[in-house]
Amino acid sequence: MLGEKAHLEICTKPSRELNPEESMFNVIFNTDESSIDVPEALLIENNIDKKVEFFLKTISLSVPSESKPVCFICNSWVYPAIKYGSSYTRVFFRNKSYIPSETPQTLLPYRKSELKYLKGNGLGERKEWDRIYDYDVYNDLGEPDTPNLARPTLGGNSEFPYPRRGRTGRPPTKTDPKCESRPAEGKLIYIPRDERADRLKESAPLSLAYRIKVFCSKTALHAPTVDQISAKSTAVDDEFNDFEQVFALFADRGGKYPTPHLIKGNKSSWMTDEEFARQMIAGVHPVHIRCLKEFPPTSKLDTKLYGDQTSTITEDHIKDKLEPEFTVENALEQNKLFILDHHDTFMPYLRKINESPTTKAYASRTILFLTSEGTLKPVAIELSLPPNSDCDKEGSVSKVYTPSEGGVEYVLWELAKAYVAVNDSGYHQLCSHWLNTHAVIEPFVIATNRQLSVLHPIHKLLQPHYRETMNINALARLLLVNAGGKLESLFFQGKYAMESSSAVYKDWVFTDQALPADLLKRGLAVKKNENGSAVCLVLEHYPYAVDGLEIWSAIRKWVEDYCTHYYASDDIVQKDTELQAWWKDVREVGHGDKKDEPWWPKMKTIDELVESCTILIWITSALHAAVNFGQYPFAAFFPNRPSLSRRLMPEEGSAEYNQLATDSVEKSMLLTITPKYLSDEGISLVHLLSKHTPDEVFLGNEKNCDWTSDANILNAFTRFGRKLAKIEKSIEDRNKDVSEKNRAGLVNFPYTLLIPTSEPGITARGIPNSISI
């Protein structure tokens, strides 16, 4: 039953103190009390002004039959009615969830019509006020009409598979009709307006769009041309001569940037082999190391295209670097050898990458040994290049470096570690961070809004974990990962950055994103029992894994409590039409390049639903926090994590090699890694990405305490919050334990990235609900 239309009146006595941009209104609905139950939905029209939209936060209704107000959580921009057309009126539902089969009959038409509108018809260019969620391939990264800025389309083809992004419908480019044109100067990429959670205009200083635009415009002022780069390479004033000059960039030496956590205390320990290894399990990229299962390491590259890519590391290289009681064979058998492997990812691209006058890189393999103290130490690094001929089928040209304590061999070892760090930085930023969190989640955001009504309990469960994700992804496509964008200029992959991440997506498996499954796949854990999901760590003192498994377990228990409240049997899961349409949309369209993969959950059981939702929440919260918020603390001091290398390792007998004997290791490294003229951009980027905003919502918290009216769900959510608080205390206790040598290392920088809460700013801790930066 639809009630009479009512009009808003300004509230002269607000029930609470309002923020400067807020207003409160009263509305009185005239109705026969005997003929109306608790209101389930409200239809809202904006007839204030044809040009003015407003952000509707909440509606609270006092209903005679209810002991407390009925709450509608809106958090949505309402544009003038004329923008939507006569066939559509905004509808808002109360804070109660229903699966489709249990929806009150009077709500069903509104539930269905709202979803129909949100799907759109796939036609035309989207406008600011549209609320349409649709898919498209990444055909908007390049600018084919501009020389050197054409880029391949990612997604929709077998050569370059990729997750889908939000459709905008912009016109095609002139040169390539299959590519979408870039936005006009100063314009943002379309996303549904409510996905831009900032209630501030894009020009407001605190908005996400403004902060990224300022970063890009400031650094663009200093970006050199190719000719200028060539000139700079010979200019003494444009090089750092030693680390002291790099330290001077930071506040404790009078510089403009906050001092990174890594060098707040001891300023030399970051260079030790122990710290180099520790950061693979307790740094900003602790998700790539794996247990070595065969020696020498082999390659999965197609031998018909790339020849034999088996590692050239031999037993003779490492046997003297192990503890006395170990041979390579029994170290392998006892899970004492580990590898950081960036060989296969980058080898196919190295010939093209190294054509750049400003970049010279390798594909690397690093072998590590697990000591009796539970710490890792590197024992060999292999650096590989394509063959000198133009025939890739001839395999690779490789050289192995081992630890040394003095002379030129020591300098070569330190340079080898730097080349590994360059590989790791590039993989971390484009694959572990951008692809495996930002990009893979966007299709789920789109599918959730297209197929699951806001009334649906799974929509309500997941929505907080999607906040700002489409917004930051669109801003990244506009300014960061686009052709000529900041990531191409700052990371060694250059114009092949996004393309190489597509190659990594070929091996992406949704179910392996679960932390226990990921650890099992990398050989870093074993199952406690054959039928259970619990695991034991092979690398016992692995801070990311130890803390992460506790967070994972807490998330899964919360999701299980939530889902079993609404789904009493597998049959209900199977008959939920919206749920099945959602999963079909994700598999067949959002991740359509992987639609035929056998590993997709069938979404036929409660357990499959719980596991899938747990994976989504894990990716958007803890995994993203682990690979993002340590960027400034670990990488702002760029010699620790350089993002590119400018020259190859000096060959014995060359003038550069002879210079290694006279130059300090610091100067040799600084002449090899990220140049001075790019250091400001790199530091500014990680400063931007690592900062928590004052309005951040952390895991286990909700912006509005009335997000649901279900007392059982609220109680379960409270238990989840309490569990996270206990985990936070456990992590802090472990960090105080001096026997936990991998927690803080020689740099005395404890692993805090998975502590759930944080203050605003760059803190190296805190797990936000969503991928919002």
Q: Which residue has the tokens 């016109």?
A: 171
Which residue from 640, 638, 639, 644 is spatially nearest to 686, judged by alpha carbons?
Answer: 638
Cα separation, 401 vs 366, whole angstroms: 10
Catalytic residue among 628, 640, 742, 769: 628
Q: What are 43-51's contacts with CB under 8 Å, separation 24+?
A: 43/2, 43/89, 43/90, 43/91, 44/78, 44/89, 44/90, 44/91, 44/92, 45/81, 45/89, 45/90, 46/78, 46/79, 46/80, 46/81, 46/90, 47/80, 47/81, 48/80, 49/80, 50/80, 50/82, 51/80
CB 581 within 8 A of CB 456: no
Query: Has 438 been annotated as catalytic?
Result: yes
Catalytic residue among 261, 343, 433, 591: 433
* Sequence-ordered list of residues with C-beta below 8 angstroms from that of 664, at least 6 positions apart, any chain: 242
Dihedral sign of CA atoms 686, 692, 696, 698 in order: positive
Query: Has 624 been annotated as catalytic?
Result: yes
Catalytic residue among 624, 683, 755, 771: 624
Catalytic residue among 367, 617, 755, 773: 773
Q: How is the chain split among helix, strand and coil, in percent rounded to 5?
A: 40, 10, 45
Using left for φ > 0, alpha for ψ between -120 and 50, and beta otherwise, residue 403 falls in beta
C-alpha pair distances (Å), 604 with each of 255, 321, 533, 573, 591? 58, 51, 19, 6, 19
DSSP state of 585: H
Tokens of 522: 């990398």
Cα separation, 719 vs 280, whole angstroms: 33
Look up residue 169 and give its amino acid.
Answer: G
C-alpha pair distances (Å), 629 with each of 4, 312, 384, 744? 51, 36, 31, 17
Which residue from 160, 178, 176 is spatially nearest to 499, judged by alpha carbons?
Answer: 160
Cα separation, 407 vs 671, whole angstroms: 18
Catalytic residue among 438, 456, 459, 692: 438
Strand pairing partners for 673? Answer: 645
Cα separation, 93 vs 71, whole angstroms: 9
Cα separation, 330 vs 307, whole angstroms: 30
Cα separation, 304 vs 346, whole angstroms: 17
In angstroms, the first-to-last Cα distance of the chain is 43
Cα separation, 564 vs 606, whole angstroms: 7
* Sequence-ordered list of residues with C-beta below 8 angstroms from that of 422, at least 6 positions apart, any chain: 361, 492, 642, 643, 644, 645, 673
C-alpha pair distances (Å), 319 with each of 398, 646, 690? 19, 32, 40
DSSP string, 277-307: HHHHHHSS--SS-EE--SSS----S-HHHH-
Query: Has 456 been annotated as catalytic?
Result: no
CB 446 within 8 A of CB 590: yes
CB 59 within 8 A of CB 42: yes
Query: Has 317 been annotated as catalytic?
Result: no
Tokens of 641: 């994590």
Cα separation, 771 vs 767, whole angstroms: 10
CB 660 within 8 A of CB 689: no
Please tell me the total number of residues recorded for the chain in this structure: 773
Query: Has 628 been annotated as catalytic?
Result: yes
CB 456 within 8 A of CB 168: no
Which residue from 494, 503, 502, 504 is spatially nearest to 149, judged by alpha carbons?
Answer: 494
What amino acid positions are annotated as catalytic residues?
433, 438, 624, 628, 773
